[in-house]
Amino acid sequence: MDTVSDDDIIIATTGLISREVFERFDSVRNFYNPGAMGLVSSIGLGIALSTNRRVIVIDGDSSLLMNLGTLVTIGYQQPGNLLHIVINNESFGSCSEERSMSGSVSLSGLAAQANYASSLTVFDEISLKNAILETVGKLGFVDAKIELGGRRDFKRPLDLVELKHRFMHQLKGEVSS
């Protein structure tokens, strides 16, 4: 989040990922999807097709597996302003911490097969930052491997209708970031 530009749109997935982005980096440029796993990439695609600004989707590994067809749709549409990052702890980290099965497949390999222009797996923060800085102007995918664990007490985005309207007004240029 420290590396993205001030104009980038952030779409954050269900569970602790949304909650951490909300607590630590809230902005009118952020959209949170706390309730429904799997859909941030589809939402991000729709937004990317409707703006020239960069859209950064922060997905979870289990969430991506729940909507895997999204890779094909996004690869087909080829939005050059979309960066799809998966925070991959190979688990349903926000809930039971059960393994998700994403460890049995290369997510970046799947994205490459689906025609993402750039597709990387990263194992440390510097590589993730470099990927965010360098994947500009082309459809990108980053499988960011992380360890399971971390804080579980991030506050929840609760005023979801208000947050949605705030985001939509900002997209229309009615509110500056």
16 binds ligand TPP (CB under 6 A): yes
- Compute φ and ψ for 31, nearest 5 degrees: -120, 130
CB of 60 to ligand TPP, least distance (A): 2
61 binds Mg ion (CB under 5 A): yes
DSSP helix/strand/coil, 156: coil
For residues 99 and 88, the answer to whether their CB atoms sit within 8 Å is: no
Q: Which is nearer to Mg ion, 74 or 107 (CB)?
A: 107
Compose the 78-107 pattern: x for residues touching ligand TPP by CB under 6 A, - for all others: ---------x-x-xxxxx----x-------
CB of 172 to Mg ion, least distance (A): 33
21 binds ligand TPP (CB under 6 A): no
Q: Which is nearer to ligand TPP, 17 or 82 (CB)?
A: 17
CA dist 159 to 77, 122, 163, 166, 176, Å? 32, 34, 6, 11, 20
Biggest alpha carbon–alpha carbon distance for the chain: 45
